[in-house]
Amino acid sequence: MRSFTLALSVSPMTVRKGKRLGISIQEHMAIDVCPGPIRPIRQISAYFPRLSPTSSFSEPLSPNQVAVPTALSPSSAGQGGGATGGGGSSSLLSPLLPGAAGGGGSLSAMSSMDTSIEIDSCDSDDNTSLGTLEFDLLYERATSSLHCIVLRAKGLKPMDFNGLADPYVKLHLLPGACKANKLKTKTVRNTLNPVWNETLTYCGITEEDMYRKTLRVSVCDEDKLTHNEFIGESRVALRRVKPDQTKHFNICLEHPPPLPSPTAMSTALRGISCYLREWETEQQRSLEERGRLLLCLQYFPPASDGNVKVEAKERARGGLCVGVKRCAHLAAMDVNGYSDPYVKTYLKPDVQKKSKHKTAVIKKTLNPEFNEEFFYEITFSELATKTLEVTVWDYDLGKSNDFIGGVSLGCHSQGETLQHWIDCLKNKGKKVERWHTLTNELPGSTLQE
């Protein structure tokens, strides 16, 4: 960068009537080009660095920008070379540019104060309390149920023109499909201190879910004419809740956590952030939860093997009894916000295609109860090589049915599904009942409608 000094000519001129002005532009303006090294323009933030938790993600400043001791020393003020009458103590806090006349490169203390206020200023919503929410959490291990008792809220942020709000509470389990596991309280009209005293229950919550999932509790304002407005939220890690013990929470509502912006990170962290975001999106897409399924497995050994009582004659040869009990928090597949679910079971590999069983269709519900049992006549050695595939479908009249989710149980399964299968094979003649998470994809399986 080169600095230019422009000086206007003030020499006396006489202009006669009828003659054009014969003065060239060089006589009016003298161009003084001062060659020198190119230096970056110093900013006021260089003299007042802001140390924040996110400062490590910002771009590093050059040595010319961070020159606080040089700018604050009187000797450095005189090195400007072109400052006249402004290089004293009155301009100690201002950067001096070469060739600046009359203190043109200085900023007053008031202007620097205004700049700092503008940087630190934020929206009024960030400084306004959103209110507090009081609720209890109880996890019952015997029933695999998570109870959230929503008690009350205090000092909520006004959302309507009358200075009040119509609040209600929503619950989501993260990670997971939000529509499948959303629970909602009733709406309390025209108040900033609502009292609900309402219990919302999640069924089929395993101990693994309690360890890895987070409960999102959000408060919203209901509007009949427009879309509902978000007030605030809070997130609770379920690992903080001990089984069969009620834990009380009285928390302040917060804004939702902002997504990490790649523009605010360095080059290396920007690439890592984009990679992690794509990986997380792919993982959620491939393992999307579609609800819960309660299965009961029982293997009947042959009648001659031990003193096991056989309840039915057709089960005398031994086999596997699959009990489809119920589903909970299924994904809504119809436009009315519900589904018409039914369950199908397969024992694969199925060469003869005779292992298909299907329950009845339960209309317009996301929490159906089936209580149906299916029996597969099979030996114990053959069962060890089989895989039980259970799928849940949404019945549609006049078109193809929609796949909701499924689960596979066998020796090649993982986690709780594998443990359920092993417990069934070990405990012959005993019923083993477990909850399973339905996913939108079954690895190594071709879905059959």
CA torsion, ordered 438, 439, 444, 447, to nearest 10 deg? 80
pLDDT at 332 over 90: no
CA nearest to 166, candidates 124, 234, 250, 224: 224
pLDDT at 199: 96
Kindly state the average pLDDT of the residues 219-233: 91
Per the CB < 8 A criterion, the answer to whether 404 and 291 are in contact is yes
Tokens of 317: 């040869």
Residue-wise pLDDT for 62-109, tens only, equals 444 444 444 444 444 444 444 344 444 444 444 444 444 444 444 344
> Helices in 176-266 by DSSP H: which ranges?
207-212
Question: Distance (Å, rounded) from C-alpha 199 to C-alpha 169?
Answer: 11
12, two tokens: 């006396």
Cα–chain-centroid distance for residue 184? 19
* Helix, strand, coil fractions of the chain, as percent rounded to 5: 20, 30, 50
Tokens of 281: 């999106």
* Average model confidence (pLDDT) across the chain: 74
DSSP letter string, 265-297: S-HHHHHHHHHHHHHHHHHHHHT-EEEEEEEEE
Instruction: Reply yes or no on whether the pLDDT at 272 is more than 80.
Output: no
Top-confidence range, 16-20, 92-96, 325-329: 325-329
Order of all β-strands in the sheet with 214-221 = 183-184, 167-174, 214-221, 229-237
C-alpha closest to that of 136 among 38, 246, 238: 246
Strand partners, 232: 219
Provide the 3-class DSSP secondary structure of residue 258.
coil
Write the pLDDT tens digit of every residue in 403-445. Answer: 999 999 988 888 888 889 999 988 888 999 999 988 887 765 6
Cα four-point dihedral sign 225, 230, 236, 238: positive
Contact 42, 106 (CB under 8 A): no
Could you tell me which residues are beta bridge partners of residue 132? 154, 252
Beta-carbon contacts of residue 11 (< 8 Å; ≥ 6 apart)? 27
